[in-house]
Amino acid sequence: MMANGCWPFATARRRLRHSRQKRDAREQDPECSRHTRSLPSTRRSPGRSGRRAASPYTKPAERQHRPVPSLLRALTDRPPLTTSSSGRVVTRPAVETKPEIPCPLCGQGNRADRRFCTECGSRLGRACPACGSSVEAGEKFCGSCGAALSGRGRGSRPAPSATSPPTHLVEKILASRSALQGERKQVTVLFADVQGSMDLAEQVDPEVFHHVMERFATLLADGVHRFEGTVTHYTGDGVMALFGAPIALEDHAQRACYAALHLSDALRRYANELRLTRSLNFAVRMGLNSGEVVVGTIGDDLRMDYTAQGHTVGLAARMEQLAEPGKIYLTEHTAKLITGLLQLEDLGSLAVKGVQAPVGVFVLVGVGPLRTRLEVSRARGFSRFVGRDADLHALEAALARAQAGNGQVVGVVAEAGVGKSRLCFEFLARCRARGLRVYEAHGVAHGRNIPFLPMQALFRAYLGITEQDGERDARQKIAGRLILLTDDFRDALPLVCDFLGVPDPERPVARMDPEARERQLRAIATRIVQADDRQGSTVTLLEDLHWFDRSSDALLETLVAAQARARGLLLLNYRPEFRARWMAAPHYEQRSLVPLGPEASAALMADLLGGSASLAGLAARLHERTGGNPFFIEEAVRGLVEAGILVGSEGAYRLLRPVEQVSVPPTVQAVLAARIDRLGERGKEVLQTAAVIGRQFSEPVLERVIELAAPELAAALQKLAAAEFVYEVALFPHAEYAFKHPLTQEVAYRSQLAERRARVHAAAARALAELHPDQLDEHAALLAYHWEAAGEALEAARWYRRAAEWIGTKNSAEAARKWEQVRTLAAKVPDLAEADVLGLVARAQLLNLGSRLGASAEVAAAVFEEGRALANRTGDLKSLAMLLCGYSQVKDMQGEPDQALRHAMEALGLAEQTGDRGLKLVVHQALAASHAESGRLREALRFAEQGLDLAPEDPRLGANLVGYSPYAWLTGFKARLLVHMGRLEEARRTIDRCLDLSRALGETEAPGSWYPVAALAAEHAGDAEGALAHARRAVEIAEKTGHSFSRAVAYLALGMALKMRGQSSEAVETLEHALAVSRERRTGLQFEAWGLSLLAEAQLANGEPDRARATANEAVAAAHQTPLFECVARLALARVLLRTDGAGARDAVHAALTRAEVLVDETGANAYAPLIHLERAELARLIGDGPARERQLREAQRLFVEMGATARAQQLARDVA
């Protein structure tokens, strides 16, 4: 393979001499010099936008002898480059060519002296060869850009060569800053290469071989440009081309395949020519692959190449290397995008160098049986048609008006994927079922430069011509159909045949003025519509007007006008960017389709997914992500299936793993990227910048980030809103916008290079901080997100810490997520003291929150060890004390009170050293909890009261350390201790004070921990209704906050209250749920024995004695480290045994109750003493000892009175009496 870029210039010196000789001859010939024009420019004039430069067209013979410049060399006004004999790069003057005027309708290049287009017959206007502006006869210089309109003129530039990109592509790159700076694109990459080029070079003279390869390059460039691809690289004996960049194309894979097939045919003919004329065996192989690439300039000036980089490109090159001569190979990635549209041969999965997993490889054989995305969907099997009843009724009404003699034109407008084509398909199916004549034609994305393409298809449909008809048969059908309509068409037959591509050699079209030809075609079209209308009502569909060429647009205007006098319906569909003058016609009606609403989306997804319980929540997530766009929904589901996340068949899928993020399928990315690219540079820049700021963004922030003047930005935003990219969500005190579809934001975000995104994120963070100096706490999380995305780990960690501290009193789960981000980010900044402190604080807070949210033992241990290591490095005693307190509480929640107490005592020593009152308060909180769980209620109460004495006037003391008020927490914990100790009246007052404190402090989560204590106090007092009310309030708060610990304890309290009310079945279910939450999340395990005790009693009441006995024994076993709840478990076991085994369990019951009495004395849990007496009374009854029973009941009654359990005491008094 020859060196990159060298072979096209191998004969530069020879051609340079030749061109100079021709130029000298022209200069000496006055007649020739008079007709010389300045060359058309491809570069925009300063300050101008939106104008297309004139397209330079050259004859094929001229193209064969031109060098192949790199893409961006053709865009500049620098002289082209060549190589000297020594290999040094030198400048080379370009060969001068005559300018051409592009046709305003079809784009065909025409000589400057032509008045009408030689392709479509439209009138030509004179245009500036530099900028394309309209100019008047006699003007010498362009009024728009100053370029000379005759002679060489000042500042004129050489024309691009035959292998240069088309003018519209040149303008796009120069106009698009993002295209030059680089961006991410979904593209298809094509590589084409001559097989055995070095062997061919040895078979012929070097000059001959140069001409062979130069013609080959021209054929390649023509084929690529025909389908709006970009040749980005000449490899010496082949090319690399992109489809989808710099201009995004939603059908990039389809276009690349069409280009490859077109090239295959053209190169096959060229190979036959070379075989006959040069005896050369010329063969080309091609390879394609689709995916995401980074595209942009390579180098530091515009002379360098615009190209793509990445794995996608490399895999395309591998396909070309694998391909057999004359074959086109493509990957499975491309094949997925063109299924049904092209014919493929599956070669299976092949090992490809540089790729770990085997790659599915296909041979591109030809065009497939399907033409549009709708046909592909139909072949797969349409999904359910939902949410369009009103639109169908509107079309039916329009048809009824048309049949009544009022011709109608209806335009259905919507963005890609919303359902324009499906709506029209369903409506046409109804029309056909009623016997109406239906005609249809479709625009295609790659047909915008082919004059009259959809209109030719429409009139072939009118005249009954099929693809199978030969030219003669087609002419016969045209004649028969038109003369059948009316004999007036006889003279028009030659023109109609010529227009439809089947000219009659025996009756050629008469020579006529191009303007007359255009006028006749429009008149014929009107007459065909009117004559056909006399045969009865018709429905004509013209689809995808946004892809019509200019010639077809002009003819469509004629059809719209003709429809006013017809009895038929002309149905059109197009995207919002399409505009036309005929839309003001009185018989035209526009119908805008909106995305599906939640109900219609749910119906569609139920049809696609099925009803498996594993799919819960997926439909809502998909609707939120896709914005109700049916095509996006279907593609997202297909993407989940292909990723193995959904398994099964359509309508019966199961979700294998949670869907944290629904990715954007490549098909959807391509559609959205193409739409974004059509915005123009200013609109695209504003949209991309807004996408970085967030789903919702304010105009002041955007203005600071993008540095646009307020009026310019406001105008750009209004255009984006009109195009339905964004919508206003607020106008006061400043304008706020939001993206209409999350996927649009994501595609706009992902299309930018990481470096640019990082700059915008940093600018957004600074703007937010400057604009909201009084709301930094509320914006801390957003600021942290932007700094993290900007790559500033330390700054992000600082703001995440502030966000965690602010949200900690309101949402512990969210605070934990923020602290985890602090932990992660601080670790990315090694050997920095501040980062170590942040990491230590984060770990302490994670343990503090983990005690309530349910941290696994393994995770908690790892966080603790990491934190201790950081504490040793920093010497931060305060943070180490907090770390120990957090781990102490985790151990409490995991049912390990002895270890909890050890860590809490170590923390107390550190707190005393620091002298920090807030820290001491937090440590007393841990000490009170660990003493309580180890069965030392008196010591626990002492530590709780000592802690409360530290902050009698400041309930917020220490809140900055744990995210909530330790004072309020200790107040609630003291109430819990008082309940267990049998001081119910004092406990009730303390609970009320705790709840009042929480409300005053704005703590929304904390009450979820104290309502279960209130329920327990009510249960001990014998107030079943009060217990149920408090328990239900606890469940309500716990479910709202999502705390695992709060949920476990709340459901235990609810189960207890239900059991007390005699609702045993509901109690069993509730208590089993509570225990499951606790065990699964490894939190609240210190209450496991209490929960099992309650469950055993509920099972007993529910008529399940065997299960009750087993559960009671399990409760005793679970309580070996928690003396308080061992007392409760022994009581439950005695109660179950008495009611299942009766007097036969006398010894076991006596042993259980005796152990319970010992535990009451050791722990101080006096609330359980009267319950022991009640069970002894029951045992006495069973053995027939009446006096003993009475003594036990009277003692229980006395203790209930002492405790303040009035209701229980009164009930017992009635029983004794």
Residues 925-976 have pLDDT tens digits of 999 989 998 889 999 999 999 999 998 778 989 888 887 889 999 999 999 9
Question: Please, what's the b/e burial string for 1049-1060 (b: 16 or more CB within 10 A of its CB; e: otherwise)?
Answer: bbbbbbbbbbbb
Nearest to 100 by CA among 42, 145, 43: 42
**670-716 confidence digits (pLDDT tens):** 777 877 887 878 889 999 999 999 888 999 999 999 978 888 898 89
**Interior/surface letters 1201-1216, b for 16+ CB within 10 angstroms, e for the rest:** bebbbeebbeebeeee
Q: What is the mean pLDDT of residues 40-67?
A: 33
Can you give the pLDDT at residue 701? 92
Q: Note the pLDDT tens digit of each residue in 1021-1058.
A: 999 999 999 999 999 998 887 778 889 999 999 999 99
The mean predicted confidence, pLDDT, of the chain is 81
Q: What percent of the chain has pLDDT over 90?
A: 40
- Cβ(53)–Cβ(59) below 8 Å: no
Residue 120 has pLDDT above 90, yes or no: no
Report the share of the chain in percent with pLDDT over 70.
82
Q: Exposed, middle or buried by CB within 10 Å (0-12, 13-18, 19+), for 827?
A: middle
Burial tier of 824 (Cβ tally within 10 Å: 0-12, 13-18, 19+): middle
Element spanning 89, H or E: strand 89-91
Supply the pLDDT for residue 480: 84
Length of the chain: 1217
1160 against 477, higher pLDDT: 1160
What confidence score (pLDDT) does residue 116 get? 59
Residues 6+ apart with CB under 8 A from 1173: 1192, 1193, 1195, 1196, 1199
Q: What is the pLDDT of residue 176?
A: 56
Question: What is the predicted pLDDT for the residue at 660?
Answer: 63
Q: Give the model's pLDDT for residue 1196.
A: 94
Q: With 70 as the cut, is the pLDDT of residue 44 above it?
A: no
Q: What pLDDT was estimated at residue 124? A: 58
Q: Quick: pLDDT tens for 455-493.
A: 988 988 888 888 788 888 889 888 888 887 777 778 788
Most confident of 3-12, 260-269, 600-609: 260-269
Q: What is the pLDDT of residue 329?
A: 96
The confidence score (pLDDT) of residue 45 equals: 34
Mean pLDDT of 284-298: 85
DSSP for 350-413, please give it.
E--TT-SS-EEEEEEEEE-S--SHHHHHHHH-PPP--S-HHHHHHHHHHHHHHHTT--EEEEEE
Sequential DSSP letters for 1154-1189: HHHHHHHHHH--GGGHHHHHHHHHHHHHHHT-HHHH
Question: Residue 316: is its pLDDT beyond 80?
Answer: yes
Instruction: Name the residue among 1065, 1028, 1080 with its Cα closest to residue 1050.
Output: 1028
Task: DSSP for 556-600, please give it.
Answer: HHHHHHHHTTSSSEEEEEE-TT---GGGG-TTEEEEE-----HHH
Contacts of 647-653 with C-beta under 8 Å, sequence gap 24+, read 648/610, 648/612, 650/381, 650/608, 651/607, 651/608, 651/609, 651/610, 652/610, 652/612, 653/608, 653/609, 653/610, 653/612, 653/615
pLDDT over threshold 90, residue 645: no
Indicate the angle between helix axes 699-706 and 710-722, nearest 10 degrees: 120
Q: For 364-385, what is each residue's pLDDT tens digit?
A: 999 887 777 677 767 667 778 8
pLDDT of residue 67: 33
Residue type, 591: R
Q: Does residue 229 have a pLDDT over 70? A: yes
pLDDT band at 153 (very low <50, low <70, confident <90, very high): very low
Q: Which residue has the higher pLDDT, 470 or 18?
A: 470
> What single letter denotes the amino acid at residue 365?
V
**Do 67 and 161 meet the contact criterion of CB atoms below 8 Å apart?**
yes
Could you read off the pLDDT of 1163-1180 as tens digits, one per residue? 999 999 999 999 999 999
Q: Is the pLDDT of residue 1209 over 50?
A: yes
Exposure b/e, 108-142, CB count within 10 A at least 16 = b: bbbebeeebbebbbbebeebbbbbbbebeeeeebb
What's the confidence (pLDDT) of residue 764?
94
* pLDDT for residue 6: 37
The per-residue pLDDT for range 387-439, each reduced to its tens digit, is 899 999 999 999 999 998 899 999 999 888 888 889 999 999 999 999 999 99
pLDDT for 151 equals 41
The lowest-confidence range among 18-27, 232-241, 254-263, 316-325 is 18-27
Task: Sort 549 into a burial class: Cβ within 10 Å, 0-12 / 13-18 / 19+.
Answer: buried
AA letter at 907: A
Confidence of residue 1085 (pLDDT cuts 50, 70, 90): confident
Instruction: State the pLDDT at residue 179.
Output: 55
Does the structure show a pLDDT above 70 at 588?
A: yes
Say if residue 148's pLDDT is above 80: no
- Extract the tokens encoding 589: 């009606």
User: Is residue 532 over pLDDT 70?
Assistant: yes
> How far is Cα of residue 420 from the mean position of the Cα atoms in its chain?
23
Contact between 364 and 288 (Cβ < 8 Å)? yes
Residue 613 CB contacts under 8 Å (≥ 6 apart), including other chains: none
Q: Quick one: pLDDT band at residue 60, thresholds 50, 70, 90? A: very low
Return the pLDDT at 989.
95
pLDDT at res. 651? 84
Instruction: Among 248-262, 527-541, 750-764, 794-808, name the one with the lowest average pLDDT.
Output: 527-541
Q: Which tens digit of pLDDT belongs to each residue from 770-822?
A: 998 988 988 899 999 999 999 999 999 999 999 988 887 677 778 888 999 99
Mean pLDDT of 631-651: 80
Looking at residue 972, its pLDDT comes to 95
Instruction: State the residue for tokens 């398909």.
Output: 425
Lowest mean pLDDT, pick from 299-313, 555-569, 1059-1073:
299-313
Higher pLDDT, 381 or 1092: 1092
Over the stretch 65-108, which tens digit does the pLDDT of each residue have? 333 333 333 333 333 333 333 333 333 333 334 445 555 444 55
**Owner of token pair 């207890």:** 1056
Per residue in 882-932, pLDDT tens? 999 989 988 887 778 888 889 999 999 999 999 999 999 999 999 998 999
How far apart CA 263 and CA 707 sit, in angstroms, is 46
For residues 131 and 53, is the Cβ–Cβ distance under 8 A? yes
- In this predicted structure, the answer to whether residue 174 has a pLDDT above a threshold of 60 is no
- pLDDT range class, residue 662, cuts 50, 70, 90: low
pLDDT at 990 over 90: yes
pTM of the model: 0.61
Does residue 263 have a pLDDT over 90?
yes
Distance CA 328, CA 362 (A): 8
- CA 813, CA 326: separation in Å to the nearest integer? 62
The residues, any chain, with a CB within 8 Å of residue 337's CB and separated by 6 or more, are: 188, 252, 253, 254, 290, 666, 667, 670
Q: Are the CB atoms for 67 and 54 separated by under 8 Å?
A: no
Q: What is the mean pLDDT of residues 149-166?
A: 47
642 C-beta neighbours (distance < 10 Å), count: 11
Using the predicted structure, report yes or no on whether residue 136 has a pLDDT greater than 70: no
